[in-house]
Structure 1
Amino acid sequence: MRLISYIIQEQSPVPLLISADLEGSRMSLPFGTEVPNPLALAAINDTAATRKISQIMAEEARAIGINWSFTPVLDINAAFRSAIVATRGFGSDPATIKAHALTQIKVFQDAGIAATVKHWPGEGHDDRDQHLVTTINPLSLQDWEETHGQLYRAAINAGVLSVMSAHIAFPAFVRSIDPTVGLEAFRPASVSRLLTHHLLREKLGFNGLIVSDATPMAGFGAWGPRADMLPDCVNAGCDIILFSHDPAADYASIERAIADGRISEARLNEAISRTLGLKAALGLHRAQPTADPVALGTEASQASARKIVLRVPTLVKDAQQLLPLSPAKHRRLLIASGGIVSPIHGTSAFSLPEMLAAEGFEITLATPEHDPKDFDAMLYLFGEETLLTRSRIFLDWAKIAGNFHAAMDRHWHDVPTAMISFGYPYYLYDAPRVPTYINAYATMETMQAAVLECLLGRNPWNTTSPHDPFCGLEDAHY
């Protein structure tokens, strides 16, 4: 990757922006140091930890030529059923989100990586996924100003270099301009001049670069023909159109729009100027130093990250006082799991069962034929971080139990039981009566090792959550 970046920059007459989603965990570089995702950092709620993790990400990204990150995520964990925000954001509290996001912006931009706040005008209240449908920010203007508005103003005041305009509608603002509007109130921001130019540029005063969210997403494509939507995206205020399945066809669509006057020369020049301005702000017009090859996954970086990861695993409740586990009391462990699920990487197995076996436990992976009463304790392991195109994440009892009969069985009255989520943190909605519940937020190996240390009592649990793990259910607390 380092060599590829070097070659394409050498061959380009104008320096290139090379981007990545530096979100951590499964939304991170597939090499280098394993680092936690934003929700895990919010669980620690120590900006010094966020600063260190961001420094590691920035150092390793710069080492392979990346100079633009589509982070931090400014979205708010409001709709717990959402399968797109959760682990990708810094929780539910705007003050917490602001503190960690501003920390990451400063670290990235000090390192020569342009930060991008997303997803404008604010995601997290619609429990659908804009990869699959245009989503809606349903807040009133006042509520938006007190939440998303404050977050974006803070990022702009901190000097963030770019904003991602997403496939999210904000009808309250549109109807504040025209109360009679119908369907147009639900036009996504990426193709809405009212939301991207009028609100973001004029009202909030953002003077940096605006990039659309990925245009192959259904939240964009469902709104209209691509050949029409691309010029709309430019005219809305997006300076860069993100991603294409057919660049030649998309380029031709923009050329036609320029030729027939749908995109003015002034707007075209503005978009080009802002793109060049971002490159100049990063100093890309000057000779770039060669990155040190040892910057990827150094022992120092890995040690720092492991130390921070140990602070993440969160004990939400232990009503039965099951913990800590020990081979003396809980030697025979029955483990039920659907594995680590990723729409990008497929499904893989957890390493935690092998880690437990190495500590002296006898591990059995559950099937419908196993009777939990024959074991000393039962663990449910869930491994799905919130990523793209999942629509919903929920506790699929039939899948994890093996058949629909077993899906209706609940064993925690017969055997001590704990649920551990290495990702989506809201499984108590489907299992409010499980007596022991743990959130670890990320599926990476170092997080599984950290949970092991906590399970065995060798490391203290975190006990604060950056969101409501009980999903508003009183009975889930007990």
Structure 2
Amino acid sequence: MTKHRIVVMGVSGCGKTTIGDLVARELGVPFLDGDSLHPVENVAKMAAGTPLTDEDRWPWLATVGSELANAGNGGLVLACSALRRSYRDAIRKQAPDTVFLHLHGSKDVLKARTEGRTGHFMPPALLDSQLATLEPLEADEAGFVVDIAVPVDEVVASALANIAAVVPSDEGAVGTRPRHFDVDLSAAPFNLDGGALAWVEETISSMTLEEKIGQLFINHNNGYSPEYLDGVLENYHVGGMRYRPGPSAAVQEHIRYAQSKSRVPLLIASNPEMGGAGSCDDGTFVSTHLQAGSHPDKNIARQMGQVAGVETAALGCNWAFAPIVDIHYNWRNTVISTRSFGNTPEIVVERAKEYFDGISESPTVCAMKHFPGDGVDERDQHVVTSYNTFSYAEWDRTYGHVYRELIGHGVQSIMVGHIGAPEVSRHFRPGLPDADILPATLAPELLQDLLRGELGFNGLVLTDASLMVGLTQAQKRKDLVPATIAAGCDMFLFFRNPAEDFQFMLDGYKSGVITEQRLHDALRRILGLKASLGLHRKSLDELVPPVDALSVIGSDAHRAIAAEVADKTVTLVKDTAGNLPITPETHPRIRLYGISGGADFTRADPLAYLETVKEELVAAGFEVSVFRTAEQREAAGETGVNFMSVLAEEATADYAERYDAAFVFANVKGFAQEAAIRIKWSSPMAAEIPWYATEVPTVFVSLNQPNHLIDVPMVKTAIHAHAGSREAIRAAVAKIQGKSEFQGTFNENVFCDSFDTRL
């Protein structure tokens, strides 16, 4: 691998820091300002206008040489005046292969530039002394001279050309360095005015290094106590937080306290993928993404966004981790089966724009997810690195189209998934071996060359949750934490161990993994996003609404929207036996089965919905008998039961004499724990498996996953109600009876690529 050890030399005002930083960026190596290595005694002398003696310089020059000698794999670009031959010799003593880039300019040019600078400890009066001291590069010194009288881009181009001529390159190394793209805060999606731009720069300049590092983190708040928040904010200076959902009043007070204790206003994130639900316990569930894509009315997605914006803004949130713009190509992929608007780029673009426009009516910015795109691999990045295996051309036509459209539509931030894209990476890094394919969170070719370069995204980039195994399996924690920022992410989602992760990030900066340029570019994007929300103009008591704002959460108006959406989107997938309608008059006695995936990480009762189903059926006039598995009966105190005894009791020849119809309501969840989700029966040959479809009319209703026909192909009537909410259950019961028409639509994924599911 080519190793660059470059010293950018010259007198004060020649542009060593500016040019050095740009050259380092193009080479893909760290940049270091040598002045930062001076001991405090030297800095004090220079600030007072006192020239340094050689005795002052020798220890400093030894440190400069040591930094170059110990540079990482790609090397280092370092700014250092290095005016005398003896100074350069001192550096070469530590790092013999150092190349010197001398930035040369006339006295008039240098004087004009020096007099225009502020905040630097080299007064212009020392320029004459420096010019007198300067000893140009000699013929036996590895280096070259570049004229600074030309525009900066020409200076950089000349420097790079000379470096290429002087520094030996490894064969095949050309074209493998990542590009970097500086933010333009005056352009979309930030669109900052002069006052906001000044606030960003002034805030950055006022920060300590620890505060700068802290801004890169989004904390997952694991407690509501003031003491907990004090510790997070005082020790880690985080730039944003996502709280643990709870009652809306408690969440709002939690956010209010956090904002009151933060020196820089916080980005407060929520996950409003379904409306207000998920952001607080009493928020309104409007629809899933799939549900919003399962009716011709695109306004459903806008309504979902509108309710999400109103309810989360009332809490004090300002950042939505939504919309989801993944495309559900693989029916086996259950992590986004309900969290994608559909299985074509066109439906995803249309509905995602509607959601964005709806939520943007509130003071909220969005983070669409999960770049470079989920839905091809069946696996779940929560538990394993997954891959988007499309060719570059296919990716560009599908996922690329989605991202271009939404970026052009104004989306402010993008959440990057722990998802690799082998063929897309190889488009930018030809010959990249399989072992070097990294998840996008660590892949500069995807974040810089593709997202920043080809797609032109100027906004903020954040990682998905860093505890996901899709990321943690890729590298050691101490390496991956700073590597995400170095690769092009601007914010890091969630600590694993706060003290460790903070130190890993700080060490990554100090070692040069995160360059000065990359750190400050990330900070500008973070603070720019805050300024785009107007947070810099608000007083502390304006950052979070008053308590009475919570009245909109779970309001009657929002519940009415949810009921209307449920009525529109309950979908009849098939009724090949003509079982419908089923009414209390035609089929009064109903055997009701409930199927769940078992308790998940939320610890909620997985069968709680079944009581709601029973209530709605009874209210409609049915007689309802609920089936219980052996395990459920034992939990209720019965003895002497097992799966065989239950099966013998349930599956008898008089089943059709006891019941007129069977309803199976499935609410199978579990993503983020399993790589794929299927129905898990209570036992082999379990009594609840629809053997009875041959005995009585059987209706299968899914309240979550759309792919259950692969496990119950024998049912002839299948309905997708999308949600376990009372509104969705009530609408499904009404439609089973024929009281209202099925209006919802579905895509071919529901048949799971199997012929028998259509029968």
Which TM-score applies when normalising by structure 2? 0.60
Matched, 1:427 2:708: yes
Measure how far apart 1:386 and its partner are: 6.4
Q: Which residue of 2 aligns with 1:13?
A: 263
- CA displacement 1:195-247 (0-9 Å, x = unmatched): 11111011111000000000000000011111100111011111000011211
CA root-mean-square deviation: 1.9
Among 182, 190, 193, the residue aligned to 2:444: 193
Higher RCO structure, 1 or 2 (CA under 8 Å, sep 6+): 1
Measure how far apart 1:459 and its partner are: 1.9
Among 453, 475, 478, the residue aligned to 2:734: 453
In structure 2, do the counterparts of structure 1 residues 190 and 3 end up closer, same or farther at CA, with 3 Å as the change threshold?
same
**In structure 2, how many angstroms separate the alpha carbons of the residues matched to 1:97 and 1:41?**
10
**In structure 2, how many angstroms separate the alpha carbons of the residues matched to 1:467 and 1:284?**
45
Q: Which residue of 1 aligns with 2:678?
A: 394
- What amino acid is the match of 1:295? V
Measure how far apart 1:53 and its partner are: 2.1
What SS does the aligned partner of 2:664 have? strand
Q: Which residue of 1 aligns with 2:588?
A: 331
Mapped contact 1:343–1:390 kept (Cα < 8 A)? no
In structure 2, do the counterparts of structure 1 residues 470 and 27 end up closer, same or farther at CA, with 3 Å as the change threshold?
farther
Among 147, 150, 154, the residue aligned to 2:398: 147
**In structure 1, how many angstroms separate the alpha carbons of the residues matched to 2:571 and 2:598?**
21
- CA displacement 1:383-402 (0-9 Å, x = unmatched): 02463222221133x32xx5
Measure how far apart 1:307 and its partner are: 1.3
Q: How does 1:463-474 map to 2 (within 5 A)?
A: 463-474=744-755
Matched, 1:356 2:601: no
Measure how far apart 1:345 and its partner are: 2.7
**In structure 2, how many angstroms separate the alpha carbons of the residues matched to 1:258 and 1:179?**
29
Matched, 1:418 2:699: yes
Matched, 1:321 2:578: yes
Mapped contact 2:302–2:355 kept (Cα < 8 A)? yes
Among 298, 303, 327, the residue aligned to 1:47: 298
- What amino acid is the match of 1:15? P
Measure how far apart 1:467 and its partner are: 4.7
Q: Which residue of 2 aligns with 1:129?
A: 380
**In structure 2, how many angstroms separate the alpha carbons of the residues matched to 1:70 and 1:408?**
38
Farther-moved stretch of structure 1 (208-217 vs 181-190): 181-190
Q: Which residue of 2 aligns with 1:82?
A: 333
**In structure 1, how many angstroms separate the alpha carbons of the residues matched to 2:477 and 2:626?**
48
Mapped contact 1:175–1:185 kept (Cα < 8 A)? no
Among 115, 123, 134, the residue aligned to 2:366: 115
- What amino acid is the match of 2:665? L
Among 397, 409, 416, the residue aligned to 1:158: 409
**In structure 1, how many angstroms separate the alpha carbons of the residues matched to 2:711 and 2:253?**
48
Q: Give the ranges of 4+ consecutive aligned residues of structure 1 lying more than 3 Å apart after TM superposition.
A: 25-29, 339-342, 402-409
Residue correspondences, number: 475
Measure how far apart 1:264 and its partner are: 1.0
Measure how far apart 1:98 and its partner are: 0.4
What SS does the aligned partner of 1:18 have? strand
- What amino acid is the match of 1:379? F
**In structure 1, how many angstroms separate the alpha carbons of the residues matched to 2:272 and 2:436?**
32
In structure 2, do the counterparts of structure 1 residues 241 and 90 end up closer, same or farther at CA, with 3 Å as the change threshold?
same
**In structure 2, how many angstroms separate the alpha carbons of the residues matched to 1:122 and 1:432?**
30
Q: Which residue of 2 aligns with 1:404?
A: 685
Matched, 1:302 2:563: no
**In structure 2, how many angstroms separate the alpha carbons of the residues matched to 1:171 and 1:125?**
13
- What amino acid is the match of 2:469? A
Farther-moved stretch of structure 1 (426-435 vs 62-71): 426-435
What SS does the aligned partner of 2:568 have? coil
Mapped contact 1:453–1:459 kept (Cα < 8 A)? yes
Measure how far apart 1:474 and its partner are: 3.2
Mapped contact 1:424–1:441 kept (Cα < 8 A)? yes
Matched, 1:265 2:516: yes
Q: How does 1:200-349 map to 2 (within 5 A)?
A: 200-287=451-538, 288=542, 290=545, 292-339=549-596, 343-346=600-603, 347-349=606-608
Q: Which residue of 1 aligns with 2:85?
A: none
**In structure 2, how many angstroms separate the alpha carbons of the residues matched to 1:208 and 1:265?**
19
In structure 2, do the counterparts of structure 1 residues 325 and 447 end up closer, same or farther at CA, with 3 Å as the change threshold?
same
Q: What stretches of structure 2 of length at least 5 have no aligned partner?
A: 1-250, 630-646
Q: What stretches of structure 1 of length at least 5 have no aligned partner?
A: none
**In structure 2, how many angstroms separate the alpha carbons of the residues matched to 1:185 and 1:42?**
37
- What amino acid is the match of 2:677? I
- What amino acid is the match of 1:461? F
Among 357, 364, 371, the residue aligned to 1:106: 357
**In structure 2, how many angstroms separate the alpha carbons of the residues matched to 1:380 and 1:446?**
18
Q: Which residue of 2 aligns with 1:2?
A: 252
What SS does the aligned partner of 1:328 have? coil
- What amino acid is the match of 1:209? L
Mapped contact 2:279–2:312 kept (Cα < 8 A)? no
**In structure 2, how many angstroms separate the alpha carbons of the residues matched to 1:420 and 1:293?**
34
Matched, 1:32 2:312: no
**In structure 2, how many angstroms separate the alpha carbons of the residues matched to 1:49 and 1:163?**
23
Among 56, 64, 71, the residue aligned to 2:307: 56
Percentage of identical aligned residues: 32
Measure how far apart 1:465 and its partner are: 0.8
**In structure 2, how many angstroms separate the alpha carbons of the residues matched to 1:340 and 1:389?**
11
**In structure 2, how many angstroms separate the alpha carbons of the residues matched to 1:415 and 1:304?**
36
Which TM-score applies when normalising by structure 1? 0.95
**In structure 2, how many angstroms separate the alpha carbons of the residues matched to 1:185 and 1:342?**
38
**In structure 2, how many angstroms separate the alpha carbons of the residues matched to 1:273 and 1:7?**
25
Q: Which residue of 2 aligns with 1:476?
A: 757
- CA displacement 1:352-371 (0-9 Å, x = unmatched): 12221232222122253223
**In structure 2, how many angstroms separate the alpha carbons of the residues matched to 1:155 and 1:279?**
20
Measure how far apart 1:71 and its partner are: 0.5
In structure 2, do the counterparts of structure 1 residues 403 and 432 end up closer, same or farther at CA, with 3 Å as the change threshold?
closer
Measure how far apart 1:448 and its partner are: 1.2
